[in-house]
Amino acid sequence: MKRFRLGRNAVIAATLLLSNIAVSGYCDEKHNFDNTKNLDVFYSIYKQLDLFYVDSIKPEKVIRTGINAMLGSLDPYTNYIPEDEMEDFKFITTGEYGGIGSIIGSRNGNIIISEPYENMPAAKAGLKAGDVVLEIDGKSVKGKAINEVSEWLKGQPNTIIKIKYQRDENKPKEVTVTRSKITVSSVPYYTVVGNNTGYILISSFTDKTGEEFKSAFLDLKNNKKITSLIIDLRGNGGGIMEEAIKVINYFVPKGVEVVSTKGKVKQWDRVYKTPAEPLDTQIPIAVMVNRGSASASEIVSGALQDLDRAVIIGSRTFGKGLVQTTRPISYNGSIKVTTAKYYTPSGRCVQAIDYSNRNPDGSVGKTPDSLTTVFYTKNRRPVRDGGGITPDVTTEEVQIPNIVYYLESDYLLFDYATQYVRKHDKIDIAGKFALTDADFNDFKAFVKSKNFTYDRQSDKALKELKEVAKFEGYYESAEPEFKALEAKLTHDLDKSLNKFSTDIRNMLEIEIAKRYYFQKGEIAQTLKNDKEIKKTLEVINNAQKTSELLKATASK
């Protein structure tokens, strides 16, 4: 690996050059001097380390650590993207890459196929979830990191790769796979739920989201004759703002302001209005959100809420009101830098954390509700800034029992699904599939055979309470009650599996459905028992309730 040295004069020259471009209007003479001084200090320190540190220094590693620390002191979204990571970054924005079309994972030191994509090279070659990858083009993957193996699997479309794998205890096999362009849809599923209600899931906002959403909506409207619509943005962390604006535009008239941005460089401040004629301005809409909904998801939900065009249902969103711009830098890298804040039509910014005002220890906290400001929607409904989007109808997020978490993290759900697929050629369609009682009893026997145990928070809490009671001198008088409680909390796997059987069955059915029907099957099976979907249907199909929610409730 080549070593490089930063020239002191080059650093100073670059700093002086920066001070003379457009942003110089925001820098005074002292600021310019501080820039030059501190860059010079940084270079001097690195030079001394490079010359005299006892061990050889790897410049890429040391400088990268410094860069990451510098950017980390600003916010989590300002990032350096070196040349070798640009392809991964492009995938986030486009949903495209060259490869075999499969998610891989690490298990007991082995690389396994976790999820092959439908109709992609891996699936077409016969690779299935649970297969252990042994070699790629003759190179062993034993002990290799997932990222390294992932790079081996990626490559230009139409190139050939040989994969040796093992399934169960069978003899290893080798398949030849032709890579292709893999496109991961940002609108992976849409359907009709309830009584003529369309459902569209948006998992992220890539450069194709607008067109994919439009296609899904028109199919539901023209061919399925839907009378209302649910847009599911739960867990959608955002993406390209322009694609969010397209989705809003489908339901809002042309020329309406839907978002604005303001930053340090005033020439970059913009007001975004809907650029085209809408598809439907009348259909009732519900937008589902949760704390995993952020950025572009909050632009969509915030604009439709401010314009009283949709009812927002779920839990408060993440609160990311910052806009990033990608700028090219030396050696084919880029920096993704926060350049502005965005504001919904009412004028509010949903940013929950003020990264510029940190605590003495460097930590940051969310803006308390008491310090937020009231804004008003088109119908004069009060909404607040500073903490994400607060839904019009709040639902409780489903709490997954502790045992389900450990069954999943210990791969027992995954392994049983793998075993189940080997024994069953087909299952009922996704969304209707259900395990029999005999199947669930078989699963319980499978779990017991693995000597499964799980961490129970009640045990920890009881032990801590006993310690406190002993310290404060109350334990002896309360000892009978403690022993009675211990008896009730005694670990009983059979009891736990039965007590949480509904949740366990649901998760197991989802894992199994995914094996037969891929991602669409996973989503369809998930919707089968989705309590939040049921609540949303109740609201969106009650015209009077929807109307009341969107009416003015306060005057300025």
**Tens-digit pLDDT profile for residues 236-295:** 999 999 999 999 999 999 999 999 999 999 999 999 999 999 999 999 999 999 999 999
CA-based end-to-end distance of the chain: 65
Tell me what pLDDT residue 135 has: 97
Given a cut of 60, whether residue 131 has pLDDT beyond it is yes
Tell me what pLDDT residue 75 has: 94
Provide, rounded to the nearest whole percent, the portion of the chain with pLDDT above 70: 93
Q: Is residue 467 very low, low, confident or very high in pLDDT (cuts 50, 70, 90)?
A: confident
Given a cut of 90, whether residue 398 has pLDDT beyond it is no
- Match 């042994």 to its residue by tokens: 134
Residue 474 to residue 48: CA distance in whole angstroms: 61
Given a cut of 90, whether residue 186 has pLDDT beyond it is yes
Query: By mean pLDDT, which of 61-75, 291-305, 460-474 is the weakest?
Result: 460-474
Catalytically active residues are 295, 306, 320
Catalogue the E-assigned strands of 344-425: 374-376, 382-384, 393-394
- Which whole number is the average pLDDT over 482-491? 73
Q: Is residue 174 very low, low, confident or very high in pLDDT (cuts 50, 70, 90)?
A: very high
Tell me what pLDDT residue 490 has: 62
The encoded tokens of residue 481 equal 């009650």
Residue 141 to residue 172: CA distance in whole angstroms: 14
Tell me what pLDDT residue 474 has: 82
Given a cut of 60, whether residue 395 has pLDDT beyond it is yes
Given a cut of 60, whether residue 556 has pLDDT beyond it is no
pTM summary value: 0.88
The encoded tokens of residue 366 equal 């969310």
Helices (H) and strands (E) in the chain, counts: 18, 21
Long-range contacts at 32-38 (CB < 8 A, ≥ 24 apart): 36/12
Question: How far is Cα of residue 312 from the mean position of the Cα atoms in its chain?
Answer: 20
340-379 pLDDT, tens digit each: 999 999 999 999 998 988 888 778 878 787 788 999 999 9
